[in-house]
Amino acid sequence: MFWPDTISKRLNIRYPVIQAPMFGVSTPQMTAAAAKAGCLGSLALADLSAAQSAELIRETRKLTDQPFAVNIFVHRIHEQTDSLKEKFAKTKQFITQLAKENNIEVQLPDLEEIKVNGYHDQLDTIIEEGCKILSFTFGNLDDKSIQKLKENGITLIGTCTSLEEALILEKSGIDIICVQGIEAGGHRGTFDADVIPEIGGISLFSNVYDHLKVPLIYAGGIYNGKTLRAAKELGAQGFQVGSMLLASQESALQPFEKERLKNVTEKDIVLTKSFSGRYARGIKNKYIETLENSSYILPYPYQNKLTNELRRVSKTLNNPDFVGIWTGQSIHDYSELSTEDILKNLIQSVEIRSI
């Protein structure tokens, strides 16, 4: 049999294939469709409030009775110092002017209007809603939270982008670790927002595999049967896919964003902090080229909160130059089939070639 069963049995799913929790792209419908394919759907809760998190969990539950993971951000929140307040005002002014020069009228928030959420409020909701699988990124949960979640029978999946991060996760008792190579689209799961381990998936996974005992998920660059089988050869017991679902029927991307994906080349894909204040891999555009390496990038989550409205308005204008279209380095056809069919086709292509 091709499929490793350690993770499948642990999570009560048919195939150890995980739909990546792409906040802003994935939807409850995508989560449910992934579950329908026998895979693990992931519901991205990011840094939403407890009430918003509960609403999305309940919406997903109406669509599927299968297991699914909820995914949260465990980032460090910077203190609102005088220097941050000053930089925020200058950054807001610069981005507002840049938008205006490009015929985008946008009302960006003041610092006082921004609501910053930590992850602790979400944990009680996740427990109360009966979720049994929690994945997380941008760091590690604190010891007390880990204990509390485990006491409630919740399986924990952490994200690493280096061996050092993987060892921290394993030592703290995290059950499964997702190893994210530099090829992966979207935000890097790196613990330190200002440092980016630029390690390719093959090298990183091999090193982590040699040093850890917990089951590992491979993430980054998987888009067909061949790449998934390569991950298994490295020792992966789970396989996370994200970019191959970007244009799916259940994706939250707009038609103009999906059209941009069809024309993307390897030169277009870059790592940037310009939209959120944390490194993310996506398609280069006018906004990124202007902001990257400038002094107008705030720490996460303030840059992210500041630019939310710019991205929302730009979507209504079908303007690809001021939205973040996150994708990985593996260029492919970005199928517009349903998530269920895309994942079933992936599974079939793996199994046919493995006979």
**Residue 35: inside a domain:** yes
* 180/264 same-domain check: no
The CATH number given to whatever domain includes residue 45 is: 3.20.20.70
Answer whether 0.85 is exceeded by the pTM: yes
* 195/229 same-domain check: yes
* 208/287 same-domain check: no
> Given this model, what pLDDT does residue 97 score?
98
* 30/72 same-domain check: yes
Tens of pLDDT, residue by residue over 210-233, are 999 999 999 999 999 999 999 999
Tens of pLDDT, residue by residue over 282-323, are 999 999 999 998 999 999 999 999 999 999 999 999 999 999
**Residue labelled with tokens 């960006």:** 108
CA distance 39 to 230: 19
Domain boundaries, position 196: 1-77+117-246+335-355
* 151/282 same-domain check: no
> Given this model, what pLDDT does residue 293 score?
85
* 241/294 same-domain check: no
Could you please report the per-residue DSSP string of 183-212? T--EE---SSTT------HHHHHHHHHHH-
Report how many domains make up the chain: 2
**Residue 306: inside a domain:** yes
**Residue 166: inside a domain:** yes
* 301/168 same-domain check: no
* 320/186 same-domain check: no
* 133/165 same-domain check: yes
* 145/167 same-domain check: yes
Tens of pLDDT, residue by residue over 236-275, are 999 999 999 999 999 999 999 999 999 999 999 999 999 9
Strands (E), the chain: 17-19, 41-46, 68-73, 133-137, 155-160, 176-180, 186-187, 216-219, 238-241, 269-272, 280-283
Tens of pLDDT, residue by residue over 174-188, are 999 999 999 999 999
* 163/307 same-domain check: no
Q: How far is CA 280 from the centre of its chain?
A: 9
Identity at 16, one-letter amino acid code: P
Identity at 93, one-letter amino acid code: Q
pLDDT at 151 over 80: yes
Q: Which two tokens stand for residue 300?
A: 């996460």
* 109/233 same-domain check: no
CA distance 230 to 236: 9
